[in-house]
Amino acid sequence: MPFLGVNIDHVATVRQARRTIEPDPAWAVVLAELGGADGITIHLREDRRHIQDRDVKVVLEVAQVPVNLELAAEDEITQIALETKPHKVCLVPEKREEVTTEGGLDVVGNYDRVQKCASQLMDAGIEVSLFIDPAIKQVEAAHKMGVQAVELHTGSYAEATSSREIEKELQALIKAGRVATELNLLLNMGHGLTYRNVKPVAEIEGVHEFNIGHSIIARAIMVGLEQAVREMKALVTR
Ligand code: PXP
């Protein structure tokens, strides 16, 4: 059964809009778990626009399920992971001006830099995943590096509008996913997945984990987080 990692960044986004103390991401941890979350994901961005350093510590203390910390493959931020020791780290590319993570990590083009961060984290016993576009050469580079997992960027699939384009993006996820599982990499998926578009991705053979944030938190504003998580869990469960 696929593992649902609930990304709670946007609970912190609401708090940071007023620089106040509510809502606390710790509350979201508890409710997401009650709704069936198998894991909690948070992204400590360089500009600290939502999750703060303090949240990483609190979320790790409160969560009873594994915590996945998304981080840019940079030295300073890798140090925070080495100090706080989340269960997993997903290395992502990051630009300050972007609204959200816009593309996958270019593992091929930045091999040495990514490897430096990944091996420090793996040596500390942290499971490492690389967030990459569904391109076979990126999957192969991740395998060469020896990380445990890849997370395929589902953003292009999510943004596709015509049925031809959607099918093309889905096929790219299927093909890259097949290579990843053949190479014994854990196959994760994330970015831009919603209640409307997740089902075809959930049907891809061998998906280990989904990381979904914005859509769940958006729905949670209307129906509550526990229910929003429960509904997404039902959709990703085959
Ligand atoms: N996976 C990764 C690596 C991400 O960077 C993000 C966004 O922080 C997500 C998953 C979740 O994306 P969304 O909020 O669009 O569900």
Residue 231, pLDDT score: 98
Total domain count, the chain: 1
Return the number of other C-beta atoms located less than 10 Å from residue 75's C-beta.
11
CATH number of the domain residue 58 falls in = 3.20.20.70
Q: Is 43 a catalytic residue?
A: yes
Q: Name the residue at shortest CA distance from atom 5 of ligand 1.
A: 101
Q: Is 50 a catalytic residue?
A: no
Task: Find the angle CA(168)-CA(2)-CA(77) to the nearest 5 degrees.
Answer: 85
DSSP reduced 3-state for 153:
strand
Q: Is 188 in the pocket of ligand 1 (CB under 6 A)?
A: no
Alpha helices in 63-153 (DSSP H): 75-84, 111-123, 136-145
Task: Answer whether 51's CB lies under 8 Å from 9's CB.
Answer: yes
Q: Residue 154 Cα, ligand 1 centroid: separation in angstroms?
A: 9
Nearest C-alpha neighbor of 216 from the set 2, 51, 8: 8
Q: Kindly tell me if the per-residue pLDDT of 104 is higher than 70.
A: yes
Dist CA 181 CA 80 (whole Å): 30
Reading the block at residue 184, the tokens are 């014994």
Atom of ligand 1 nearest to the CA of 211: 10
Q: Kindly tell me if the per-residue pLDDT of 96 is higher than 80.
A: no
- pLDDT tens for 25-45 read 999 999 999 999 999 999 999
Q: Which of 151, 191, 208, 209 is catalytic?
A: 191
Dist CA 136 CA 163 (whole Å): 23
CA 45 from centre of chain: 13
Q: Name the residue at shortest CA distance from atom 6 of ligand 1.
A: 191
Dist CA 56 CA 44 (whole Å): 8
Q: Is 90 in the pocket of ligand 1 (CB under 6 A)?
A: yes
Average pLDDT, the chain: 95
Q: Is 191 a catalytic residue?
A: yes
Q: Residue 192 Cα, ligand 1 centroid: separation in angstroms?
A: 7
Residue 2, pLDDT score: 87
The residue segments making up the domain with residue 149 are 3-236
Backbone torsions φ then ψ of 214, nearest 5 degrees: -55, -45
Q: Is 143 in the pocket of ligand 1 (CB under 6 A)?
A: no
| CA dist list (Å): 189 to 49, 131, 144, 177, 182 | 23, 9, 20, 9, 16
